Amino acid sequence: MKLFEIAALLGCSGVEDSIEITGMNTLREASAGEISFLSDSKYEKELENTQASAVILPSSKAHLLPKGVIALPSDEPYMSVALLSKHFSKPIRSSEVPPVIGEGSVVYPSAHIENGASIGSNCTIMSGVYVGADAVIGDDVILYPNVCIYRDCRIGNRVMIHAGSVIGSDGFGYAHTKMGEHVKLYQNGNVVIEDDVEIGANTTVDCAVFGSTIIKQGSKIDNLVQIGHNCIIGEHSILVSQTGLAGSTTLGRNVVMGGQSATAGHLSIAPFTTMAARSGVTKSITNKGVYSGFPLMEHKMWLKMQAKLAKMLES
């Protein structure tokens, strides 16, 4: 899509460049030929080093762009991104290349493997499984009944995904009009699951808006867990049933999240941190430890508080 066509679509006057724009990405990850955006001032520092060909941003911030990066002024950058994202979304089915099934793999008759998909050796793909276009499944993978793998997702070796889980569904992202209407921000990234991961039944891992949602090697995820778009789960982490991670949460390695615990979005959790059941994390955690409660506090402090409350009720 030509840049002047994008400018016309978004109502940005005075942009006549015929640069071919091939995709959308974050300021940090964008490369030449991609378009990015600034909708939150906390990311201003990333403007000076962006490699994007063009950036959607408020006109007051255009002077911060590096030389050669074209500004697309917008009063509502996030809304502009949502409107544009539809034009870069991939079709559900796009390939005419038949799927590749590795040696020794068993695909049950009612499973459906889209064109362009690749399945490694010695896999078991059970009844009702769907594997989307251009998805890649490694070796020795087991997909239990009714697992759904959306297009472009990457599944490593020796991964086990239990019944009913969905990998790569759209993240929950909308821009909102002044009248309160919700405009879909199309999620054009994917999910990457590394080697030796096990995912329980009826768990959902959303694809990234741009780039990848990543579950790193050796992590174990229970049933009924929700992982939002662009999250990164560190190596050998454990997420217990009904845990929920809002978008762009980053867990270090060996993080443990107890049942019904949750994080707000755009947080980082230090490696080897444990959150007890029903913990509510609203700020990044930089020091490893055991935490409990809402608002979150060190587990020892939470136990003392509970003991004092119990004594107050007895008096």
Q: Which pLDDT score, from 0 to 100, does residue 233 have?
A: 98
Question: Considering just the CA atoms, what is the radius of gyration of the chain in Å?
Answer: 22
Domain at 18, CATH number: 3.40.1390.10
Q: Which pLDDT score, from 0 to 100, does residue 46 have?
A: 94
Q: Minimal CA–CA distance to 218: which of 269, 246, 257, 253?
A: 253
**Residue-number span of the structural domain to which 31 is assigned:** 3-88
Tokens found for residue 119: 């399945």
Secondary structure (3-state) at 82: helix
User: Is residue 165 included in any domain, yes or no?
Assistant: no
The answer to whether residue 182 is catalytic is no
Q: Which pLDDT score, from 0 to 100, does residue 255 have?
A: 98
User: Is residue 176 included in any domain, yes or no?
Assistant: no
> CA–CA distance from 241 to each of 87, 205, 220, 256 (Å)?
37, 14, 11, 12
User: Is residue 20 included in any domain, yes or no?
Assistant: yes
User: Is residue 183 included in any domain, yes or no?
Assistant: no
Secondary structure (3-state) at 119: strand
User: Is residue 50 included in any domain, yes or no?
Assistant: yes
Region of 158 on the Ramachandran plot (φ > 0 left; ψ -120 to 50 alpha; else beta): left
- Give me the amino acid identity at 279: S
Catalytic residue, candidates 229, 236, 266, 299: 229
Q: Which pLDDT score, from 0 to 100, does residue 40 have?
A: 87
Q: Are 285 and 264 in contact (CB under 8 A)?
A: no
Q: Which pLDDT score, from 0 to 100, does residue 16 have?
A: 84
Cα separation, 75 vs 69, in Å, equals: 19
Q: Minimal CA–CA distance to 160: which of 215, 115, 234, 101?
A: 215
Residue appearing with tokens 């996030």: 78
Query: What backbone torsions phi and psi does residue 206 show, to the nearest 5 degrees?
Result: -80, 145
Q: Which pLDDT score, from 0 to 100, does residue 94 have?
A: 75
Specify the number of domains making up the chain.
1
Element (H, E) at 176: strand 174-176
User: Is residue 281 included in any domain, yes or no?
Assistant: no
Query: Is the pTM here over 0.75, yes or no?
Result: yes
Cα separation, 130 vs 107, in Å, equals: 11
pLDDT tens per residue across all 315 residues of the chain: 999 999 999 998 878 888 999 999 999 999 999 999 999 888 899 999 999 999 999 999 999 999 999 999 999 999 999 999 999 998 887 778 999 999 999 999 999 999 999 999 999 999 999 999 999 999 999 999 999 999 999 999 999 999 999 999 999 999 999 999 999 999 999 999 999 999 999 999 999 999 999 999 999 999 999 999 999 999 999 999 999 999 999 999 999 999 999 999 999 999 999 999 999 999 999 999 999 999 998 988 888 888 888 888 886
User: Is residue 118 included in any domain, yes or no?
Assistant: no
Please state at what angle helix 77-85 crosses helix 3-10, rounded to 10 degrees: 120
Contacts of 217 (CB under 8 A, 6+ apart): 156, 194, 195, 196, 197, 235, 236
User: Is residue 74 included in any domain, yes or no?
Assistant: yes
